[in-house]
Amino acid sequence: MPNPEWPRYTPVADHSLLVSFGDAIADPASAAVLALDRALAHAPPEGLLECIPAFVSLLVVFDPLVTDHARIREAAETLQRDPPAGLPAGEAREVEVCYDDGFAPDLEAVARASGLGIDAVIDLHLRGDYRVRMYGFAPGYAYMSGVPPEIQVPRKPSALRDIAAGSVLIAGPQCLVTTLRMPTGWSIVGRSPTRILTRDDSAPFLFGVGDRVRFKRIDRAQYEAKLENESHG
C-alpha cells in the first residue's frame, strides 16, 4: 500500500528541491529514488540542471532564472503518476575480491558477531544482492545496499586510519569498495583489484547509480596478477 506521508518535497535554497521517499534506508524508498531519477533524465523539465540521488531522497537542482520549486515539483509528481515507458535498467557489474589473510582484518570479528564461521560469512557476502544506491564521501565511493541480514554489523566505535584502496567494507546493510587510502569505521572483509576509477572522463566510475554488483572470489595469486596487469594497462 502507498504511504500517504511520502514523498515529501522540501525546497532547498532557491535552486533545488529535495524529494524524500522515507526516513530510513529501505529498498522501496531507494527504488522510488532511482525511478524518479531516471524519469527526470529521460524527460527533463525546463530548467533542470542535475539530479543527485541518495538512499531515500533525490536532490533536484534547477536554474532559478528559468523555473521554480512549484514547477519542478509538478513535473516530479507527473512523472511519478505516469512514468515514461522503456526506462533503462541498471548494468550488471562484477567486482573481484580476495578474502585472504592480510586483506580482511575484520572477517573474524564479523564471524564472531554473526555466530558464524569465516567461510559462512564469505559465502553470504558473495551471495548478497547488491545495488548501487548513491555516491558520497570520496571519489568513486559507491554505496551499495544488499548485505545479507546474517552478517550485518554496526560501524566500529572509532575509525582506523590509512585503510588501503580497494578495501571491501560492510556496515549494516551497506557495502562499498574504497578507491583511495582513507580512514574508515566500517568492517574490512576483503580487498579488490578491480578498477573503480576508470580514467575515462565520460564515465569516470565503474558503477552507475542503480547498477547491480556481483562479487567474485579470487585468491592472492589472482589478486597480484590482476594488479600487475592493471599497472601495465
What global pTM score does this model have?
0.84
Q: Are residues 72 and 168 in the same domain?
A: no
Q: Are residues 36 and 104 in the same domain?
A: no
Q: Considering the chain, what is the average pLDDT of its residues?
A: 92
Mean pLDDT of the 136-158 span = 93
- pLDDT confidence band for 3 (50 / 70 / 90): low
Place of cell 585503510: 163
Q: Are residues 224 and 198 in the same domain?
A: yes
Reported as type and span, the H/E element at residue 230 is helix 220-231
* Residue 109 pLDDT exceeds 80: yes
Q: Tell me if 69 sits within 8 A of 11, measured CB to CB.
A: yes
> What percent of the chain is modeled with pLDDT above 90?
76
Q: Nearest to residue 93, comparing CAs of 130, 140, 134, 125?
A: 130
Task: Give the pLDDT score at 233.
Answer: 59
Bigger pLDDT: 68 vs 199: 68
Reported as type and span, the H/E element at residue 51 is strand 48-53
Q: Are residues 181 and 149 in the same domain?
A: yes
Beta bridge partners of 24: none
Q: Are residues 109 and 217 in the same domain?
A: yes
Task: Give the pLDDT score at 1.
Answer: 44
CA 102 to chain centre: 25
